[in-house]
Structure 1
């Protein structure tokens, strides 16, 4: 079976919440970031153009896709996969690997797994409305795809 890839809906969700900034900035967690949520090797003096931001997004999505594909043992629909890729893109594979969301999903409990999205709304111990909104969108995408998959 071919490895799943993030759909256009996944890319759109990530773009919606990450935005596109062509000069480096510190995200709420204090991590130097540029483009569409790109963090690898970023220095605060960095600049990019839209084409570079799109290229980094594609590369970063491949990392998130690989993490979801390797860590999730349960079958996934496209929408479930997309929601999880957005989640991992934002939080990182390490957080996902340790999450109750993943444990419940791999235990065959997708509805219980969906309940876990809303727990991931803090950065540095502070509840951020942007994360509340993003997790709600990811959860909605996951649940809609879960109903279809059931």
Structure 2
């Protein structure tokens, strides 16, 4: 890590050069902050139960007879958007005619789930979080993209876990309609969240 911008900013605030002791103390503080961030990132990684839950509900649908997978429209939305492929992958480059191999689907899943796990860890901050809670929240975020705006995140950060678990049930709509599949997924996420 380039520490020069930090030292320059603090030096500018002080309006003077550092003493050797101040340099050592500032270096130690930066090292401590970096170490805490590494520990937090390590502490928050998606577990096997979370991976299995996401894969169960996202599926790897539309496999062709040649083993390749093709994109399909969202079955719950009025306009078919977003188009999806593999393990629930969406994006501007996915639409009618998009075809991936199973290896592409699996690689995209690993990359996407790592990004979502990092976003959930960041949204939760230092709040105490069990593996089951973290896995459930990553599954929720993978499906909704709403970890930062959901009331359940705020309740979790406040340690109100029973109330947070009840919030999953509010996220069962697509295009204004309650969806049976989303209801079942949210029930499973809430159960995983409460499992510890």
TM-score (norm. length: structure 1) = 0.91
Relative contact order higher in (CA < 8 Å, ≥ 6 apart): 1
Q: What is the CA distance between 1:2 and its match in structure 2?
A: 4.5
User: How many residue pairs are counted as aligned between the two chains?
Assistant: 143
Q: What is the CA distance between 1:120 and its match in structure 2?
A: 0.3
Secondary structure, aligned partner of 1:34: coil
Q: What does 1:48-63 correspond to in 2, within 5 Å?
A: 48-63=100-115
- CA distance in 1 between counterparts of 2:73 and 2:110 reads 21
Cα distance per residue 1:93-133 (max 9 Å; x no partner): xx221111011111121111111001100011010111001
- CA distance in 2 between counterparts of 1:97 and 1:55 reads 25
TM-score (norm. length: structure 2) = 0.70
**Is 1:137 the counterpart of 2:170 in the alignment?**
no
**Is 1:81 the counterpart of 2:134 in the alignment?**
yes
Secondary structure, aligned partner of 1:26: coil
Structure 1: tracts of 5 or more residues without a match: 146-150
Structure 2: tracts of 5 or more residues without a match: 1-38, 62-68
- Give me the CA root mean square deviation: 1.1
Q: What does 1:83-98 correspond to in 2, within 5 Å?
A: 83-92=136-145, 95-98=146-149
Matching residue of 2:70 = 23
> Who wins on radius of gyration, i.e. which is larger?
2
- CA distance in 2 between counterparts of 1:10 and 1:54 reads 15
Moved over 2 A (4+): none
